[in-house]
Structure formats: C-alpha cells, structure tokens
Structure 1
Amino acid sequence: MVTQAETLRGLFRTLTATSCPYRYNFHLHTICSDGQLTPQQVAQQAMIHGLKGFAITDHHALEGYFQARTYVEAYPGTDRPQVYTGIEITAQLLDTEVHILGYGFDPHAPILHRYAMGSAPEGEWAQAERVIAALHEAGGLAILAHPARYRLPAEQLIPAAVARGIDGVETYYCYGNPEPWESTPETTALVHRLAVEHQLLETCGTDTHGQDILVRR
C-alpha cells in the first residue's frame, strides 16, 4: 500500500508556481490554531474551488486535519480533494526560530504527541534535527516553511536544514499580500535554485490565516 508520504514525494516533484491556489494548497490554518476558518470551512472552500488536494497545517495541532477529513469523506460523490496530514512546528535552526511543516505522517504516532499539544516545543525538543527526526519516525516528510521569512537568509538556513535531514522547502510562497495570490517571483527563483542544488522537494501553499484560502492573510 502506497503511503501518503510516498504519494506526496512524487506529487511535490510536479508542483510549479501556478499549482497553488487552485489545484493544491499545502499550507492552511484553522481555528484549531491561529486561523479564522473552521476545518469544515477550509474543506468546503477547497471543494468549491476544485482543489485536488490540500493540507491543514495548524501550529502544533492535528484536530483540524481530523475534522476536515471527516467532512470531506462524508461529502457525496467521488470528485473530492485528498486531505493530507499536516502540521507546522516551531523549531530552532542556527539559533534562529524557523517553522517546519510536516506532511504525510501517521497522525496517531506517539512521537508526535509532544508536538501537537497546542504550544511550541522547548529545549532539545525544539531543535530542528529533533523535529525533523520525529516527523520521519512518524512516517512523514519535513519541509522548511517560507525559507526567506527568517532572521537569517535562505542561503544559510537551507543548507543547514539539509544537514539535519530536511526533505524539502516551501518554494512557492507569497511574501507579500497581493490579490490574486502569487508566488513571489524573485524569492521563488532563489529558493528553487537552492532546492535543485540540494535535491530537495518543493511545496506550495497560501499560508492562509483569514477567511479565504486563496490568499495569505
């Protein structure tokens, strides 16, 4: 049986700057962390817009995934989006706070319990290598979120994340708030180049916290 992580590994290799937000969206937040939409509303919008797949990546929480999956599975018909497991975990990398996205993992894996309790991990559990290892132990993939939004530049953080076992980077990301959503061209080019150089997977997502999954805010 093909796992979610195996499916996503292949899917992430096909994504481009236009894959989000109308085909896929792998960075969404709900009221289960700091978003404004319920998981059901996220799932409903995903179906209205005809997405093929999406992931709710609430901060240190998994309840949104379970609720969205239940909603989608109860919807009549077969033309429904795939709901992938997702989470966003705060971590320390080169003494810098970063966010690591997890995908395709077993949501019941005991190793993830301490990362899904509603608050950021502390101490050794917050180290990027520990977070990445936990996601791998749970059968998932680890992705460095929005690599150009941190105190240190992507040119430093991405190689450091690679050395700690990261699987990929969020290449296609909107660093401003334009409508319609657009992956920032210059930053996309930089992150894509680094991803190719280090043979990384590349993901896309709106990072929605507001009322519309098609935009970032």
Structure 2
Amino acid sequence: MQFANNSITRYKLVEETICYGVSNNFATILAISPSAFLERALDPSHGHSVMSATSTIQSRFLSTGSLGDPLAADALRRAWATVDADSCPRQYNFHLHTVCSDGKLEPEVLIEQAIELGLAGLAITDHHRVSGFGRAWQRLQQIARACPQRSLPHLWSGVEINGWLDGTEVHLLGYAFDPDCRLLSRYLQGSAVPVVQAVEVINALHEAGGMVVLAHPARYGRSVTELIPAAARLGVDGVETYYAYKNPIPWQPSPMQTRVVRELSATYGLFDTCGTDTHGPSLLSRL
C-alpha cells in the first residue's frame, strides 16, 4: 500500500477500535466522521491511507500521540489524588468556560493560555456543550505537531450539566467521557433538560466512561451537609472542594467552605477537585 507521506500518526477510535493511519491534514480528519475518514483513507486521491482498520465505526478518531488521552479516567483519578488548595489555577483547572457557552474565551485562546501558564491538566466544562472541548483539542494537536518537544497539558473532555438533587437544582461536572455516547446526547444540546434528575445525569456520564463531580457545592443556598451526602449516595466521584465563592483577586479557594467540604469529601470517600469556573478573559480568575 502506498502512503501519501511518511508521517505516521496513531489514531485511537473511542470504544475500542484502533486504526493506524497517515495524514497530511490532521485538522480535516478530526472534522469528519470516522466512516468518511475511512472512505478517504482508502482512496489515494485524498492523500490518506491506513495500515489497518476495523469494520466497527461507532465514534470519531482522537489522536493520542504524545498527548494525554482526553478520555483517560485513570489518569484523571491520579491527577485528582494530588489536588490541594494550591493546585489551582497554575497547576490544574477543571472548571472552565468558552464562547461556546457563556464564557468570553475562544477555545483556541483558552488552550494557548493554559500552555503559557504551564498547566499540567485541565478540562473545558461548557454548559451542555462539548464543541469548545473539540476546538481546543484540535488546537492542542496542531501545537503538538508544530512543537513536538514542547511540554503540553493533559486536556480531558468536560461538560457542566444541570440536574435536580434532593429537591435542589445543582450543576454536575462530567469528565473523561466519550462525547459520542448516545446516552449523553440529550444533555449536550446546548441547554438544560427540564426537570432532569441528577441521578440520570450521573448514570449517563458513568455509562460514557466518565467521572462526575458536584460543582461549587456551597453555592446553592442549601447546606453542604445535606447536598454532599445526597450526591455521594447517587454515585458522584468527587466534589469541587477548592472553589472561590467571592471571586477574589488573586484567585484562591474560600477557606471556610473549603474546610467543611473537604471534611465531607473525606467522610464519603470522594475526590477533591478544583476550578476557577472561568467565564472571563483569563484562566486566573472567574470573571
């Protein structure tokens, strides 16, 4: 088989399908469906070819290369196990928004800021959308190809979804999930699903291979001593322990709320996570 060029890129197909391919236009491949990719890959006129491919096409391709897998829940657990009050915003940041929902940053600019800050890992958690994650992932791939020796952050898939928990509407953060999982599709249409129960969202994210965190648990006008146990009973994996409730500059987690939430997370065996909940132009603050 003739290859279009000698640059072999490894592609990982979500849901256990792997192909090894060659590309002279990576961004184009990411923008098309897997079936369309295979049609082009097997047609030399498109400048793509594959060494092997399976017949099971259920999701889009994600290049892993030297970057972290955006669906790697195990890597996320290891990162969360190290999170403390000093992790955010310059080491990890797991709560970020772009213009794809209600933020001000273009996804490409966001990932460039993350690189400049030297972040080890992050997730874009737009409300009920994953398009911002997709755009940031493509930009990260472009940078990785242009600067193969540069240290780059691990970008996980992410989303923020509304759900009702014990009579209170809360926000649930999903991470490291397969965005193409059909069980998630109703929650990724750009707006909240009316009166959806938190347990439905949690189960859907878990079915998609993801992890679930209760966002800013002290912001709902309901005691965290009620909400966190209720969320734990439904199977959440963590709580956003380190959160700045009064938007201080410079950003720092609120001490009183952090102490109480951390005690509860330890009691219920939950991960402590952190995030600036950025909606403005800088990853170093919320607004």
CA deviation after TM superposition for structure 1 residue 178, in Å: 1.1
Is 2:248 the counterpart of 1:148? no
The aligned counterpart of 1:110 is 182
What secondary structure, in the 3-state scheme, does the structure 1 residue paired with 2:95 have?
strand
Is 2:17 the counterpart of 1:17? no
What secondary structure, in the 3-state scheme, does the structure 2 residue paired with 1:28 have?
coil
- Within 2, Cα distance between the matches of 1:13 and 1:189? 17
Deviations 1:143-189 (A, max 9, x none): 00000000211110000011111111000100111111001111111
The aligned counterpart of 1:4 is 72
1:115-194 superposed matches below 5 A: 115-123=187-195, 126-194=196-264
TM-score normalized with structure 2 length: 0.73
**Which structure would you say has the larger Rg?**
2
Aligned length: 215
- Within 1, Cα distance between the matches of 2:184 and 2:206? 10
Is 2:136 the counterpart of 1:64? no
Q: 2:107 aligns with which of 34, 39, 42?
A: 39
Which gives a bigger RCO, structure 1 or 2 (Cα 8 Å, sep 6+)? 1
- Within 2, Cα distance between the matches of 1:73 and 1:82? 11
What secondary structure, in the 3-state scheme, does the structure 1 residue paired with 2:101 have?
coil
The aligned counterpart of 1:80 is 152
What secondary structure, in the 3-state scheme, does the structure 1 residue paired with 2:230 have?
helix
Cα-Cα RMSD:
1.2
Where do 4+ consecutive residues of structure 1 move more than 4 Å?
A: none
Gaps of 5+ in 1: none
The aligned counterpart of 1:89 is 161
CA deviation after TM superposition for structure 1 residue 92, in Å: 0.4
What secondary structure, in the 3-state scheme, does the structure 2 residue paired with 1:146 have?
coil
CA deviation after TM superposition for structure 1 residue 6, in Å: 1.2
What secondary structure, in the 3-state scheme, does the structure 1 residue paired with 2:155 have?
strand
Q: 1:54 aligns with which of 95, 115, 122?
A: 122
Gaps of 5+ in 2: 1-15, 17-68
The aligned counterpart of 2:274 is 204
What secondary structure, in the 3-state scheme, does the structure 1 residue paired with 2:241 have?
strand
CA deviation after TM superposition for structure 1 residue 82, in Å: 1.0
- Within 2, Cα distance between the matches of 1:6 and 1:47? 22
CA deviation after TM superposition for structure 1 residue 20, in Å: 0.5
The aligned counterpart of 2:98 is 30
- Percent sequence identity is 49
What secondary structure, in the 3-state scheme, does the structure 1 residue paired with 2:89 have?
coil
CA deviation after TM superposition for structure 1 residue 47, in Å: 0.7
TM-score normalized with structure 1 length: 0.96
- Within 2, Cα distance between the matches of 1:52 and 1:105? 19
